[in-house]
Amino acid sequence: MGTLIKVSKEDNIGIITLNHPPANTLSQAMIQEIETAFDQLKEETTVKVILLHGEGRFFAAGADIKEFTKVDKKETFQEMSRKGQEVFSKIEAFPKPVIAVIHGAALGGGLELAMACHIRFVSTDAKLGLPELQLGLIPGFAGTQRLPKLVGKAKATELLLSSDTVMGEEAVQIGLANRCFPPETVLGEGKALARKIALKGSISVRRTLELISLSNSEKLEVAQQKESLHFGEVAKSEDATEGIQAFIEKRKPVFKDR
């Protein structure tokens, strides 16, 4: 692991910390380290939930614009864009839940990274937006695609074309974030949710994430067929047997992820 990312574990939670304060800018090196961190935690069977947050004042204030001044070919810009898209798509399709805990600024590439996560907790002082048009640019890490899915086409168009930002509570109101907390408690709240999810069986969690992702890409009939297939598979697992028995016996289940 490089120096721009820290990876740690608390019980069954894998914690990825963007560690390049003050802005945690998403340079190409940072994006590569993010990918490496997720690849590492994917293989660690004891890790059941991922929590992503930033060190210092910000979550991530955007892409590293200084890198842009060193590029003189459109093909290189296209490659930079595709790499970010690939890494963020890997996060969106990650088989373990990914919770972004956002404080301070999550702008440009920082917000695009957060939108790739499954759940977003924000602080009241969080500032979220895609201000690329102010620089004569456009989002390059799928921000134009994920933002409309979260907040609707009309609101996304307004935010993209105006370069306006929203604070934490408004982010929740428009569907960009799940919940909002004071800055001093938001990380703890993210960890609390991660611990709650980690108590679930990983088979059912993984299949649920897969099926949720189909809601954007498959017709209802096709998605329903896959849901039935997964339901049959999960219902015959040891975890389902334990869960049903625990319900009957009025006790908490102890899942073994098989």
pLDDT digits (tens, 9 = 90+) for 18-43: 999 989 999 999 999 999 999 999 99
Is the same domain home to 173 and 240?
no
Please state which of the ranges 145-159, 162-176, 234-248 shows the lowest mean pLDDT: 234-248
Helices then strands, each counted (H, E), the chain: 11, 9
Which of the two residues, 81 and 167, has the higher pLDDT score? 167
Task: Please say if the pLDDT value at position 126 is more than 60.
Answer: yes
Q: Check pLDDT > 60 for residue 203.
A: yes
Between 7 and 223, the more confident residue is 7
213 lies in the same domain as 137: no
Q: What are the residue ranges of helices labelled H in the chain? A: 28-43, 65-68, 74-92, 109-116, 143-151, 153-162, 168-173, 186-198, 202-214, 220-235, 238-248
pLDDT band at 114 (very low <50, low <70, confident <90, very high): very high
Which residue is listed with tokens 């399709």? Answer: 93
Is 11 found in the same domain as 80? Answer: yes
Whether 189 and 222 map to the same domain: the answer is no
In the residue annotation, 132 being an active-site residue is answered as yes
| Parallel, antiparallel or unpaired: strands 13-18 and 5-10 | antiparallel
Range of the domain at 76: 5-198
Per-residue buried b or exposed e for 194-228, using 16+ beta carbons within 10 Å of the residue's own CB? beebbebbbbbbbbebebeeeeeeeeeeebeeeee
Out of 10, 75, 92, 132, the active site residue is 132
Kindly name the residue from 10, 79, 92, 112 that is annotated as catalytic: 112
Mean pLDDT of the region 198-208 = 94
- Decide if 255 is inside a domain: no
Active site annotation includes 238: no
Tally the domains of the chain.
Answer: 2
Kindly state the average pLDDT of the residues 52-77.
87
The residues near 33 (Cβ < 8 Å, ≥ 6 apart) are 1, 2, 4, 5
